[in-house]
Amino acid sequence: MTVVDEQARAAARPEEAAASSGPRLFAVRSLNYLTNHVVCHVPSFALRRSWYRRVLGAEIARSAGVHLRCYVWFYGPRQTRRDGFHIGARSLVGRSSCLDVRGGLTIGEDVSISPEVAIITAAHDVEDPGFRVVDRPVVIEDHVYIGMRATILPGVTVGRGAVVAAGAVVTRDVPPFAIVAGVPARQIGSRPEEAIVYELPGAPALFE
C-alpha cells in the first residue's frame, strides 16, 4: 500500500480519512507488515486462515486454504469487513498469489487458484487529475480454475466452472464454463458442464 494509494483512497472515501495519518496509519501499516511479511510465511494453513479471519475480518471456510507467501492487499480491517473478503469451502489459493481485497473479493467453493495469480480490485483512474483510486469488486464463482500467473482485473466476474489459462490477463467478465486465454483474455473453448461435479480435497492443517 503506497502513500499515494492511502491518500487517494481517503479522498475517495471520507470515512477513511482518519486512516491516512497518525496512529491509525501506523496501526494499519503494522498490520500490513505482519500479514504480508510475517504471517504469510508461517507454515500452517490453520494459523494463516485464523489470522485472516480474526484480524482482517475475512470469511474463509474452514476447509479452504491460502498457501504460503500470499500478499493480501487491504486498507484496514474495517474496510475488509465492509467490502468483503470471502473464500468458499475447499477452495485453494496458490503460493505467492496476490489477493487484492480493497474493492471486495468473493471466491466461491471448489475454486482452484494456481501459484502466482494476481487478483486486483483497485486501480488509479488515469484520466483523473487527482489520480484517484477506483475500487471494483471481483467475483470468482464456484469451480473456477485459474492457471499460473494469470491476472484478474478490477470489476471482473469469472463465471461458474470457467477456466482462465496460465498467463492470461482477464479484463472482462468470463461466462460460465468458458475457457479463456491470452492478453487480453479471449475465449478459446468451453468446459463440459457435466465435468463440474467434483469437490476439492481442501487444505491440510500444516505445511504449505
Ligand X SMILES: CC(C)(COP(=O)(O)OP(=O)(O)OC[C@H]1O[C@@H](n2cnc3c(N)ncnc32)[C@H](O)[C@@H]1OP(=O)(O)O)[C@@H](O)C(=O)NCCC(=O)NCCS
Residues labelled as active-site residues = 124
Closest distance between ligand X and the C-beta of residue 71, in Å?
Answer: 19
Q: In the structure grid, which three cell numbers stand for residue 204, read together?
A: 491440510
Of the two residues 37 and 186, which places its CB atom closer to ligand X in the complex?
Answer: 186
Give 68 or 148: the residue with its C-beta nearer to ligand X: 148
| CB nearer ligand X, residue 130 or residue 201 | 201
CB 94 within 8 A of CB 66: no
Q: What is d(CA 166, CA 184) in angstroms, rounded to the nearest whole number?
A: 12
Q: Work out how close the CB of 152 gets to ligand X at its nearest, in angstroms, rounded to a whole number.
A: 14
CB of 145 vs ligand X, minimal distance in Å: 7
Q: Please, which residue, 84 or 167, has the CB nearer to ligand X?
A: 167
- Which residue ranges make up the site for ligand X (CB under 6 A)? 114, 147-148, 163, 165-167, 179, 181-182, 188-189
- CA-CA distance, 75 to 177, in Å (whole number)? 33
C-alpha cell at 122: 483497485
Pick from 32, 54, 70: nearest CA to 208: 70
Q: What's the distance, CA 66 to chain centroid?
A: 10
In the bound complex, what is the minimum distance in angstroms from residue 163's beta carbon to ligand X? Answer: 5
CA-closest candidate to residue 5, choices 20, 18, 15: 20
